[in-house]
Amino acid sequence: MTERSPKQFVVGITGASGSIYGVRLIESLLSLGHSVHLVISSAGWRVFKEELGFAVTDREGFLNEQFRGYPGSLHYHPAADIGASIASGSFRTEGMIIMPCSMGTLSAVAHGSSDNLMTRAADVMLKEGRPLVLVPRETPLHAIHLENMLKLSRLGVKIIPAMPAFYFGPTSVDDLINFMVGKVLDSLNIEHTLFRRWGEEA
């Protein structure tokens, strides 16, 4: 595992089910002192409302309140702000995670369609050779979904489907959420204690 020096990460939350995954990821990164540049799609905000009861008009103010008190810093970028810092490869970050990632966003990334800030930021990760992690949440998967994921995997993108494990003895939904977020952090070599690893004492 790498040291805990503060780093900058881009986090995207789309309209796929499982917005709590994205929320927990942000909390985890901020709690470790990292800087998070956040993009939420319009559908992502809709899912926030449907799944978590987050119905807000002042989006930036809501996020600042929701994630207040952590040692890290949060920077919210509207999805339509194609001129934001994270749209440029000259803005240095350690990588990007889209969690959860809809099939529509995954397809756009796979085909280089960067018509909003989230897909543009993902395109920047690809062109600059930086880590890109996608957490798709869809079932069942048809051939187009699978072909798009294979294409991205061959480009070096980490595909981590939202498939929580049970070998560590989860006793709550929170345990399952933490497992998935922990697997994402593992893929970026970020130290954490979100779940008990195989072989560790209970």
Q: Is residue 176, in this structure, part of any structural domain at all?
A: yes
Tell me 191's DSSP state: -
What pLDDT was estimated at residue 3?
47
In single-letter form, the type of residue at position 152 comes to L
Quick check: 121 and 10 in contact, CB under 8 A? Answer: yes
Name the domain count of the chain.
Answer: 1
Q: Is residue 124 part of a domain?
A: yes
Mean pLDDT of the region 72-84: 96
| Across 118-125, average pLDDT | 98
Grouping H, G, I as helix, E, B as strand and the rest as coil, residue 199 is: coil
Q: Let me know if residue 3 belongs to a domain.
A: no
Calculate mean pLDDT across residues 10-18.
97
Q: What is the pLDDT of residues 98-111, one digit of tens each?
A: 999 999 999 999 99
Q: Within a domain: residue 200?
A: no
Q: What are phi and psi of 138, to 5 degrees?
A: -155, 145
In a domain, 28, yes or no: yes
Domain assignment of residue 104, yes or no: yes
Whether the Cβ atoms of residue 98 and residue 126 lie closer than 8 Å to each other: no
CA distance 140 to 119: 24
Report residue 196 as tokens.
């008990």
Tell me the mean pLDDT in the region 148-154: 98
Q: In this structure, is residue 196 part of a structural domain?
A: no
Question: Each residue of 134-143: pLDDT tens digit?
Answer: 999 999 999 9
Crossing angle of helices 19-31 and 173-187, in 10° steps, is: 60
CATH number at residue 123: 3.40.50.1950
Spatial CA neighbour of 176 closest among 200, 194, 198, 158: 194
Range of the domain at 62: 8-187
Domain assignment of residue 22, yes or no: yes
Give the closest residue to 137 by CA, choosing from 2, 40, 22.
Answer: 22
Alpha-carbon Rg for the chain, nearest whole angstrom, is 16
Task: Find the helix or strand (DSSP H, E) in which 73 lies.
Answer: strand 73-76
pTM score: 0.94
Give the pLDDT score at 4: 59
Amino acid at 70: Y
Q: Per-residue pLDDT for 199 more than 80?
A: no
Residue 27's pLDDT is what? 97
Q: How confident is the model at residue 153 (pLDDT cuts 50, 70, 90)?
A: very high
Which backbone phi and psi does 31 adopt, to 5 degrees? Answer: -65, -25
Give the 3-state DSSP-derived string for 105-168, with helices as H, strands as E and coil as C.
HHHHHHCCCCCCHHHHHHHHHHHHCCCEEEEECCCCCCHHHHHHHHHHHHCCCEECCCCCCCCC
Q: What was the pLDDT predicted at 2? A: 43
